[in-house]
Amino acid sequence: MKQGRVRSARWSRPLALAAVLGATLFGATAATAEPTVFATGLDNPRGLTFGPDGNLYVAEAGTGGDTSTIGMCPQVGPPIGPYTGGDTATVTRIAPDGSKSVAARGLPSATDAIGDIEGAADVAFVNGQLYVLTAGGGCSHGHADTPNGVFRVNADGSTTLVADLSAFLMSHPVANPSEDFEPDGTWYSMAVRDGALYVVNANQGNVEKVALDGTVSRILDGSARFGHVVPTAIASWNGRFFLGNLGVFPITPGAESLWKLTAGGHVSQVAGGLTTVLGVAVTKHGRIYALESMTMPGFPGPDQIGSGSVVQVKSDGSTVPVATGLSFPTDLAIGPDGALYVSNLGFGGGPGAGQIVKIPLG
């Protein structure tokens, strides 16, 4: 266990400098590809996926809000809490030409005591139907009536709750809650397998199966197995999952891992030597890519601008650099064209600073 105050999938104060510099830092070495900007004007973009219509769908955490629930329920303790909430999170649809439209609106978003934002966390399709995972809901995040959960996105842009993950956490506590415990969790990533959704709670270290009828069942209590390693990214491939972790702050380069996880909860390491993993993507042929959000030692801040990278994880557990020069990226997906798409400036850049960048693969 690393020493000092730890924070689960949260960031330092908004970094206006990142919004200025992010688009200018891209570059390629002889060994890496050069990212190009695909879409701009996003509010803290997080998880993303391509739909059956060929469009890219992006979970935007939003801009938080100012509604307080102090006195109504237990709050997240300082310095992280208390939170205030608002309905500013969205799901955005991005066409192949980069034009945007709203797929879902009015989702819970929350601002913590130092200005960080949680909201819509990830998106996924099951049988052509779009679902969104939220991290900004629940009473501890300033939303007395809207929990964290999995929501179905309706044709008119409204959403319907499928699974109440806030309630599930209250009735199914993990073995070793973290120092920075959040009652409603910090849900981060979502994968699909056999018609069900699998979701990851970074704050408490658990992975849950969510059936489309709303039934929730625990696959892994990572707090019991690993302690507070902050699992974040999950991807499904060929009957198994790949699970990556952020780790705690201060960042120790090379300290994090990628694991293979079965639906029965068996875990084995695929690769070590990674840093702040926030995204995992697997091609149909089994080629694995991991997104490292920050790779410099220390804490999130100006020194981390341009330190984000994408690496390919080889079958022997070694890694090969694919792209560098990213600033606070938060997820990646493989497009129909075979390129990687990355949520860049996914935190810390301020309203409208987020972007999607495209990385060609050889």
DSSP string computed for 59-113: EE------B--TTTS--PPTTT---EEEEEEEEEEE-TTS-EEEEEEEEEEEE-T
Here the tokens at position 101 are: 């439209």
170: helix, coil or strand?
helix
The two structure tokens encoding residue 218: 């625990």
Q: pLDDT confidence of 42, banded at 50, 70, 90?
A: very high
Tokens of 345: 């400036």
Task: Provide Rg for the chain, Cα atoms.
Answer: 18
Work out the burial of residue 83: count CB atoms within 10 Å of its CB; fewer than 13 is exposed, 13-18 middle, 19 or more buried.
buried
- Quick check: 256 pLDDT over 80? yes
Cα–Cα distances in Å, from 272 out to 101, 224, 260, 312, 317? 39, 20, 12, 13, 7
Residues 206-232, mean pLDDT to the nearest whole number = 97
**pTM higher than 0.75 for the full model?**
yes
Question: Which whole number is the average pLDDT over 144-158?
Answer: 97
Question: How many residues comprise the chain?
Answer: 362
Say if residue 336 is preceded by a cis peptide, omega within 30 of 0. no
pLDDT at residue number 18? 45
Q: What is the pLDDT of residue 179?
A: 86
DSSP 3-state helix, strand, coil percentages of the chain (rounded to 5)? 5, 45, 50
Mention every residue, 6+ apart, whose C-beta is less than 8 A from residue 131: 123, 124, 125, 150, 151, 152, 153, 162, 190, 197
Q: What is the mean pLDDT of residues 37-53?
A: 98
Number of Cβ atoms within 10 Å of the Cβ of 122: 31
Contacts of 316 (CB under 8 A, 6+ apart): none
Handedness of CA 345, 347, 348, 350 (dihedral sign): positive
- C-alpha–C-alpha distance, residues 37 and 182, integer Å: 35
Residues 6+ apart with CB under 8 A from 293: 246, 276, 277, 278, 308, 326, 328, 329, 330, 346
pLDDT at 9 over 80: no
Contacts (Cβ under 8 Å, ≥6 apart) of 29: 321, 324
Predicted confidence band of residue 22 (pLDDT cuts 50, 70, 90): very low
Q: Which residues contact 30 (CB under 8 A, 6 or more apart)?
A: none
Q: Two tokens at 5?
A: 């105050």
Spatial separation of the C-alpha atoms in residues 231 and 278, rounded to whole Å: 9
Q: Distances in Å between the alpha carbon of 15 and those of 22, 57, 58, 251, 303? A: 11, 25, 21, 18, 11
Task: Read off the pLDDT of residues 291-333 as tens digits, 9 standing for 90 and up.
Answer: 999 999 999 999 999 999 999 999 999 999 999 999 999 999 9
Residue 52 CA to residue 128 CA, distance in Å, equals: 6
CATH superfamily membership of 16-359:
TolB, C-terminal domain (2.120.10.30)
- Asked whether the beta carbons of 116 and 10 are under 8 A apart, the reply is yes
pLDDT of residue 54: 97
The β-bridge partners of 234 are: 243
Alpha helices for the chain (secondary structure H) = 16-21, 165-171, 222-226
Using the predicted structure, report yes or no on whether residue 19 has a pLDDT greater than 90. Answer: no
pLDDT by residue (tens digit) across 96-137? 999 999 999 999 999 999 999 999 999 999 999 999 999 999
The pLDDT tens digits of the residues spanning 57-103 come to 999 999 999 999 999 999 999 999 999 999 999 999 999 999 999 99
